[in-house]
């Protein structure tokens, strides 16, 4: 197989597609689900009755707004840096409280999708016109390299939506360690973790009967078609979800329902699929307190507080440096 280090790729997306589809087993990163269409599909997923995560975290923030906001506040104000800001629906609960109580802070939403940031900035100007907003487009890891620039006052790093669940434990520890290294002693991390629960509840959340989750997963194939002049037939793939209650790992796959070839012209690449061959597209890790505390300790962080919904489906934890 050709060594991809010899190929000139036009983007990280092209390189990751080449690497993922020439690997065995095949894989594609869920971060490439997101473009204008993917952003809209994810908003639709968050509104599905089966997708409990959004409502659980919204209720946690709505029912504990004062305690959470008081924990965030610093003597000289603070910078609220949100990784993966999305539409900001949940964050706005805290932003509104902070503004209403005249607490000094700047809001720095970070997202890989410029489209999501533009929509968020527009809605914030309308709903919270006095808010100081400084959007940052990019991946979490690129942003973390710049976080240490914000050291003149307290930083609160916000990661909602159980985004850490898209990482295997080893990668999650690396992610937490990078955040820890960018933190000063007074800083804090506020992060959401989806909890282990009835396995059927988890499967239903990622396998809705209306097919929105399937369309969201397939959007990565649609993007490859559009952006790399490929010929994926979306109807010849279907979405499949698994959950392992022992490891707490939910996995999403796209399965080829026939033997086929896909041509990606921009990469000068032909990919062969056997019938029932899979492309692994996403993991969604589930947690309990013991796992979260172990992850934190591996990254030289400690849990200092947590908030949960009434069903204990979901938890937001506060972390500080050890």
pTM, entire model: 0.89
**Cα 287 from Cα 313, distance rounded (Å):** 10
Measured distance CA(27)–CA(32) in Å, rounded: 12
Measuring CA to CA, how many Å separate 12 from each of 3, 16, 181? 16, 6, 25
* Lookup result for tokens 């946690």: 60
pLDDT of residue 2: 47
Residue 44 and residue 98: Cα distance in Å, rounded?
A: 28
Domain boundaries 64-195+287-321, CATH class: alpha beta
Residue found under tokens 């209306």: 210
Contacts of 47 (CB under 8 A, 6+ apart): 54
Per-residue pLDDT at 149 = 72
Report d(CA 137, CA 145) in Å as an integer.
13
Token reading at 88: 């900001």
Cα–Cα distance measured from residue 94 to residue 86, given in angstroms and rounded to the nearest whole number: 15
- The 3-state DSSP class for residue 306 equals strand
- Averaged over successive runs of 10 residues, the pLDDT of the chain (322 residues) comes to 69 97 97 92 93 96 97 92 90 96 94 88 95 87 74 91 93 95 94 98 96 98 98 98 96 98 98 98 97 98 98 98 95
Beta strands 78-83 and 154-159 are parallel
- In angstroms, the CA 157 to CA 165 distance is 17
Cross-sheet strand order for the sheet of 301-308: 136-137, 105-111, 78-83, 154-159, 188-194, 314-321, 301-308
Q: How far apart are CA 225 and CA 131, in angstroms?
A: 40
Choose among 73, 33, 24: nearest CA to 213: 33
Report how far apart, in Å, the C-alpha atoms of 89 and of each of 63, 118, 266, 298 are.
Answer: 15, 14, 38, 32
Domain ranges of the chain: 4-49+201-285, 64-195+287-321
**Six-digit token pair at 198?**
């009835």
């Amino acid at each position: 197989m050709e060594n991809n280090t010899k190929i000139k790729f036009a983007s990280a997306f092209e390189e990751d597609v080449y690497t993922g589809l020439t690997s065995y087993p095949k894989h594609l990163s869920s971060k490439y689900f997101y473009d204008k269409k993917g952003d809209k599909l994810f908003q639709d997923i968050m509104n599905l009755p089966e997708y409990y995560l959004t409502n659980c975290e919204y209720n946690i923030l709505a029912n504990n707004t004062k305690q959470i906001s008081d924990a965030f506040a610093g003597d000289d104000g603070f910078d609220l840096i949100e990784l993966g800001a999305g539409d900001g629906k949940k964050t706005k609960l805290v932003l509104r409280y902070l503004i209403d109580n005249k607490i000094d802070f700047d809001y720095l939403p970070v997202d890989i999708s410029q489209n999501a940031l533009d929509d968020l900035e527009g809605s914030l100007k309308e709903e919270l016109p006095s808010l100081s907003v400084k959007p940052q487009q990019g991946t979490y890891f690129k942003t973390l390299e710049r976080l240490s620039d914000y050291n003149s006052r307290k930083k609160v790093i916000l990661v909602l939506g159980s985004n850490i669940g898209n990482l295997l434990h080893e990668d999650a520890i690396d992610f937490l360690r990078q955040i820890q290294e960018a933190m000063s002693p007074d800083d804090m991390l506020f992060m959401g973790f989806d909890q282990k629960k009835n396995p059927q509840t988890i499967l239903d959340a990622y396998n809705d009967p209306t097919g929105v989750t399937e369309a969201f997963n397939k959007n990565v194939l649609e993007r490859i078609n559009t952006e790399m002049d490929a010929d994926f037939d979306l109807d010849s793939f279907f979405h499949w979800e698994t959950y392992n209650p022992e490891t707490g790992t939910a996995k999403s796959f796209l399965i080829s329902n026939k033997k086929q070839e896909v041509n990606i012209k921009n990469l000068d690449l032909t990919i062969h699929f056997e019938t029932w061959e899979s492309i692994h597209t996403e993991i969604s890790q589930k947690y309990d307190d013991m796992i979260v505390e172990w992850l934190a300790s591996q990254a030289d962080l400690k849990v200092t507080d947590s908030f949960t919904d009434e069903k204990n489906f979901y938890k937001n934890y506060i972390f500080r440096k050890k």
